[in-house]
Amino acid sequence: MTPELRAILDRFIYEQATVIHMVTSLPPGGIDRVMPGPGWTVRQLVAHFADSQERHASTIERWLAGESAAPGEFDIERINAMSADANAATPLPDLLTRLRKSLRTLIAAFENVPGFMVEAHLDGDPAIEAFHAWERHYRDHAFDLLDVSPELKFDPLVLNWILYAEFEDEEFCARQRALLDEVRKHYASTPGVEIEDGA
């Protein structure tokens, strides 16, 4: 596996672990809070992450076999809606088991990718670009999750994730800066706490 692919997987592992920390730290009933952005509950978001990782693994397998990465009609909005409906009441332990398994499956799929294939086209674009887009998926929902987890806003693990994340979307960058300002104010009078300027 190339160092770049290894780094992508490391990011998946780190961000999934942080999301699991967040959802398992919510109080009773917290996983059924509805996120303003996608309109899903936290429970449904966990299922969405598992769906995505399973789909990525299948895409890699088809691509390596020389098949279309997305055969037939592919309607991601319909797929997401069906998943949300199907997992509206799925117990969180079941979802977390599936999420962890989906990442193991994705890691196994990445391990089969030869280094010379990373620049080959995957549905029209270099595969490595698709892989980086997949790797950003957890970050794409970081603020959705934070919006419904106010009790975790100053959790060190959560802050380490979000304040040091590399966002491409300007709205996310603005929210990141606003969160950093809020954190600085929150800890301004706390002795021995320092907030770095590099976030």
Strands (E), 66-126: 121-122, 125-126
- In contact, 62 and 69? CB cutoff 8 Å: yes
Which of 53, 39, 60, 37 is closest to 140 using CA atoms?
37
pLDDT in 10s for each residue of the chain, 199 residues: 899 999 999 999 999 999 999 999 999 999 999 999 899 999 999 999 999 999 999 999 999 998 876 655 567 889 889 999 999 999 999 999 999 999 999 999 999 999 999 989 987 889 999 999 999 999 999 999 999 999 999 999 999 999 999 999 999 999 999 999 999 998 887 766 665 555 4
User: CA-CA distances (angstroms) from residue 139 to 93, 186, 187?
Assistant: 22, 24, 25
Q: How far apart are CA 41 and CA 84, in angstroms?
A: 8
**What pLDDT was estimated at residue 108?**
97
Which of 58, 59, 76, 168 is closest to 122 using CA atoms?
59
Model pTM score: 0.90
**What pLDDT was estimated at residue 184?**
93
**What pLDDT was estimated at residue 123?**
76
